[in-house]
Structure 1
Amino acid sequence: MDIEKTLKSKRLMVGVLSMSFLLSASNAISGTIPAMEEAFSNVSKANVELLTTIPTAGVMVGTVLTGVFSNYLGKKKSVLSGLLIACIAGILPTFFPEYWPILISRFMFGVGMGVFNPLSVSYITDLYEGDRQRSLLGYRQAASNLGDTVMLFIAGLLITISWNATYLVFLVLLVPVVLITLFVPKEFDNFNIKSSSVDEEGHIHAAETSARPSTNWKVIFLAVVFMLISMFYNVIALKFASYVVTNGIGTAATATWIFSFLVLAAIFSGILFEKISKITKRLTVFIFEIVIGVCYVAVAFVHNVPVLMALVLLGGFAWGIINPALTSRLVDVSPANSMNLSTSIIVITINIGFLISPYFFAMFAHLFGNDSPALAIIIGGVLYLVVAAIDLITVKADKQLTI
């Protein structure tokens, strides 16, 4: 195998990026909640909604298991195992449309997602460096949002058949299984572009290292930042529809239509990430956190659909820049031989952020005696501005950071 040629091949890039195509796949069945509430009339509404959030717990368990899978199976087989677990568990509710089987299968779906999620980052950071690495981290974010859009579209078609048929959407997970099998060589399991060598016959020799995977305070700090921005960002998903309806701006359908543009904007920003980050450099995260903060605060004072759409588009675009920028920063601060561990920590904290977000904003509603969606969106925006100020201090103090 010609290592240099393979690393430059588009086939390998497609295989690596396909790991990220379905990172948000669990959202695809959110539209089945009303039908499941009717089907499981003997189950509380909260417990039915748990079916959409329980994968988060599974993701955290699967993320912890990533290291075990990698040690015994290697990276490629670990990714394929995670995808197959998620695929099989994902479609089971189609054939067993009862509450407890669905709950267990949804948890196992999350476990499968958690196994391959961290490796979708480490493959990029291990195989590529410099501009190409940053470009692919941006494409990774774009691929994730594109996959989310495709899955929601397919789920929308399947739900017209029956609510449990919607779970067949997870058969799409077989697409990355095929692409990774064909395009990602097993030889790259232990390859790191910065430390591995290649002999005259094209065999890879990983550098000998006694360093065990470890972490440091910079990784932990970055994990907290990821958790906070995920928690604050989620306020728009939680409260935007209610804001549109309660203020007479439009219907829930109007809100869903506007919100869909957020995902679309994040796709484009992921593609443009490398070029934008070359201009904004170390201020990239700070600038786009300010953008989201201002957009959120402005949303709470706007009652015009076109202006709301523009603000949501801008906020989604900014999110598509922040995520790969912070992931690039993770490459700068992660200890040697520890990228899988560092990514696993980040994945867990991101999921914690999304999981506790509803309770976080409920706390502020209780504190202010005001549960209006507008207040929650304003608080999310203001807190983004606070995080932006902290980020500015961080990049001024840490000269090691390149972005």
Structure 2
Amino acid sequence: MKLKMLDASALCLLMISTLTVMSNATIAPALPGLANEFSGTTSSGLLVKMLLPIPALFVVIFAPILGWTADKFGRKNQIIIATIVFAVTGSAGAQLQSLESILISRAILGICVAGLMTAVTALITDYYAGDKRSQFMGLQQAFSNIGGIIFIVTAGYLSGISARLPFYIYAMAILLVPLVFLSIHDNQKSHKQSVSNSDDIDTGWKFPLLGCAIFIFCHMVVFYILPTQIPFFMAEIGVADPSLSGLAIGMSTLTAAITGVLFGKLVTKIQSYGVALVGFLFMSLAMLVLSQATSYSLVMLGCSLMGVCMGLIMPNFMVKGMELVPSAKRGLASGVLTSSIFIGQFVSPFITSSLISKFGYSDFYLSAMVFTVILAIAGTTILKKQSSITSTFNRGN
């Protein structure tokens, strides 16, 4: 069965998914301008740098909590509240007069992102099953990446006029509130049944969920090399133009979007464990290319291969992580998976920077290649076993 792309609820969930990318990407081009504006402020250098990671930290802290509230009080209400507060706190940075107040607004923004991601993932699992769920998760990944490209390009243009203008992009989220109100509906019947029966059902969901969270975390630690290390690596090999590093990173986003669209068809043909194998091997190949890169063309190739991995691995392990979770626990489960994404993003620069300083870029990339080959083997083995368990469970029900 094909997914109905013009369905209002499907379109709404995809549009909401683009907001989660905005939490970091939107103000990235404005950071140099903000640093100049607040140059006279004590510790301004550190505070400006903290504007990017602070939302991710609060996503990590609040995602499990807001996953629980999505189960307890409903997905729709949480999305509406989070979207409104997202628009207000995100755009507040355009008017706030101190770095400390902007940091606070960014922290609240991270809480909103946690609320959106957990509720949206739970709703996707409520609405879709089987191949449809895989197709939609792939489309969600594609929309997120396309949104990232649009927002970062727009923010780059606006930051050339004023460092404060990119903050207003967040206000666009308010336009989605009427669409959410009209098109999103909690699956109340399924939810009530699951609340009453979930204690009696043991689907063995906790360990598969934890395993998928670990794989997502490991993937993000390696993938986040792109925004945190590639610009410095390019400078070391003699490519100093910042716009070229942005183009290389943007290429990974583009290939991730394209691959995300194809994810549903691919998982139908080679199963989730096959997708895990292909995805991580693409990342291994990317690391090999970067280890030998001495030109911009090879860096572009490596980044493109990394994007293929992102487009496959993220929806694959999100789908598998939620597969066995009872309906009453889907919000909580999506909170665990969401936290794993942002923990990986948060710790990646600390892990990779220390390894690069010790081994150098080339040996670091080769080490990362070996690590991702191990992930490919482990992911394939574990998901194949989980698929057998899932088939057995489905036959028994």
Provide TM-score, normalisation by structure 2. 0.88
Q: 1:191 and 1:388, CA in 2 relative to 1: closer, same or farther beyond 3 A? A: farther
Match of 1:211 in 2: 198
CA contact (8 A) 2:30 2:156 kept: no
Tell me how far 1:335 sits from its aligned partner.
4.4
Farther-moved stretch of structure 1 (289-298 vs 30-39) = 30-39
Tell me how far 1:8 sits from its aligned partner.
8.8
Instruction: From the two aligned structures, give the one with the greater helix fraction.
Output: 2
Cα distance in structure 1, aligned partners of 2:316 and 2:125: 13
**What amino acid does structure 1 have at the position aligned with 2:176?**
P
Q: 1:253 and 1:268, CA in 2 relative to 1: closer, same or farther beyond 3 A? A: same
Gaps of 5+ in 1: 1-5, 197-204
Match of 1:11 in 2: 8
Q: 1:181 and 1:135, CA in 2 relative to 1: closer, same or farther beyond 3 A? A: same
CA contact (8 A) 1:30 1:52 kept: yes
Match of 1:247 in 2: 237
Tell me how far 1:121 sits from its aligned partner.
1.1
Match of 1:202 in 2: none
CA contact (8 A) 1:216 1:335 kept: no
**What amino acid does structure 2 have at the position aligned with 1:400?**
I
SS in 2 for 1:23: helix
Cα distance in structure 2, aligned partners of 1:84 and 1:292: 37
Cα distance in structure 2, aligned partners of 1:137 and 1:401: 19
Does residue 1:87 correspond to 2:62, yes or no? no
Cα distance in structure 1, aligned partners of 2:153 and 2:286: 27
CA contact (8 A) 1:239 1:377 kept: no
Pairwise mapping of residues 56-75 of structure 1 onto structure 2 (< 5 A)? 56-67=56-67, 69-70=69-70, 73-75=73-75
SS in 1 for 2:238: coil
Does residue 1:361 correspond to 2:346, yes or no? no
SS in 2 for 1:94: coil
Q: 2:34 aligns with which of 30, 33, 36?
A: 36
Superposed CA offset, 1:21-75 (max 9, x none): 2211122101122122222223242332111111112212432332464366421
Pairwise mapping of residues 72-221 of structure 1 onto structure 2 (< 5 A)? 73-185=73-185, 188-192=186-190, 206=193, 209-211=196-198, 216-221=206-211
Match of 2:20 in 1: 23
Q: 1:256 aligns with which of 243, 246, 258?
A: 246
Note the aligned Cα RMSD (angstroms): 2.5
Match of 2:389 in 1: 400
Count how many residue pairs are aligned between Structure 1 and Structure 2: 381
Does residue 1:232 correspond to 2:230, yes or no? no
Cα distance in structure 1, aligned partners of 2:101 and 2:210: 36
**What amino acid does structure 1 have at the position aligned with 2:293?**
V
**What amino acid does structure 1 have at the position aligned with 2:377?**
A
Match of 2:284 in 1: 293
CA contact (8 A) 1:78 1:115 kept: yes
Q: 1:47 and 1:401, CA in 2 relative to 1: closer, same or farther beyond 3 A? A: farther
Match of 1:308 in 2: 299
CA contact (8 A) 2:63 2:115 kept: yes
Tell me how far 1:251 sits from its aligned partner.
2.2
Cα distance in structure 1, aligned partners of 2:178 and 2:377: 44
Q: 1:190 and 1:386, CA in 2 relative to 1: closer, same or farther beyond 3 A? A: same
Larger relative contact order (CA 8 Å, sep ≥ 6): 2
Cα distance in structure 2, aligned partners of 1:207 and 1:351: 29
Tell me how far 1:125 sits from its aligned partner.
0.9
CA contact (8 A) 1:93 1:102 kept: yes
CA contact (8 A) 2:59 2:113 kept: yes
Q: 1:242 and 1:208, CA in 2 relative to 1: closer, same or farther beyond 3 A? A: closer
Cα distance in structure 2, aligned partners of 1:220 and 1:254: 38
SS in 2 for 1:302: coil
Tell me how far 1:384 sits from its aligned partner.
1.4
Q: 1:70 and 1:271, CA in 2 relative to 1: closer, same or farther beyond 3 A? A: same
Cα distance in structure 1, aligned partners of 2:195 and 2:343: 35
Farther-moved stretch of structure 1 (27-36 vs 215-224) = 215-224
Match of 2:395 in 1: none
Q: 1:108 and 1:285, CA in 2 relative to 1: closer, same or farther beyond 3 A? A: same
Provide TM-score, normalisation by structure 1. 0.87
